[in-house]
């Protein structure tokens, strides 16, 4: 009946606290780019760029796919990652609900067993 979610915003903002990473996101907003492209554009080593892209990827802001020897970076989440994250979030909502339901059910059980003792 309703899914509530924020959570992911935190990771996004942490990822975007760095000027190079904001630049990468802006760049990818205009179109996909390879790690090599990004390294050239930001005057960084491949290793340095990979590290930044990794942080953005973990925050769900960027996805990467390797085709042959080229790793292409895109803005946004991939379909499968998106679905897996959503299902996990959905599970957490139900798990939290059902933990509360455990308490309600335990109280009903307790009431019933004390009724039995009295009758």
Contact positions vs other proteins (CB under 8 A) = 1-6, 8-9, 12-13, 16, 19, 22, 25-26, 61, 79, 82-83, 86-88, 90-106, 108-109, 112
Closer residue to other proteins, CB minimum distance, 40 or 108: 108
Contact 69, 37 (CB under 8 A): no
Closer residue to other proteins, CB minimum distance, 46 or 96: 96
| DSSP 3-state of 7 | coil
Closer residue to other proteins, CB minimum distance, 5 or 65: 5
Closer residue to other proteins, CB minimum distance, 36 or 90: 90
Q: How far is the CB of 28 from other proteins (least distance, A)?
A: 12
Using alpha carbons, list the distances in angstroms from residue 110 to 7, 20, 70, 107, 113. Answer: 36, 59, 63, 5, 5
Return all residues near 77 (Cβ < 8 A) that are at least 6 apart.
60, 63, 85
Q: How far apart are CA 70 and CA 33, in angstroms?
A: 10
């Amino acid at each position: 009946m309703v899914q509530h979610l924020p959570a992911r915003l935190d990771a996004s903002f942490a990822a975007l606290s760095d000027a190079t990473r904001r630049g990468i996101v802006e760049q990818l907003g205009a179109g996909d780019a390879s790690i090599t492209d990004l390294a050239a554009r930001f005057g960084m080593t491949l290793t340095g760029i990979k590290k930044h892209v990794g942080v953005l990827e973990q925050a769900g802001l960027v996805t990467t796919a390797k085709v042959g020897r080229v790793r292409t970076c895109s803005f946004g989440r991939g379909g499968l990652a998106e679905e897996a994250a959503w299902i996990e979030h959905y599970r957490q909502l139900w798990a939290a609900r059902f933990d509360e339901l455990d308490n309600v059910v335990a109280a009903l059980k307790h009431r019933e067993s004390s009724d039995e003792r009295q009758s």
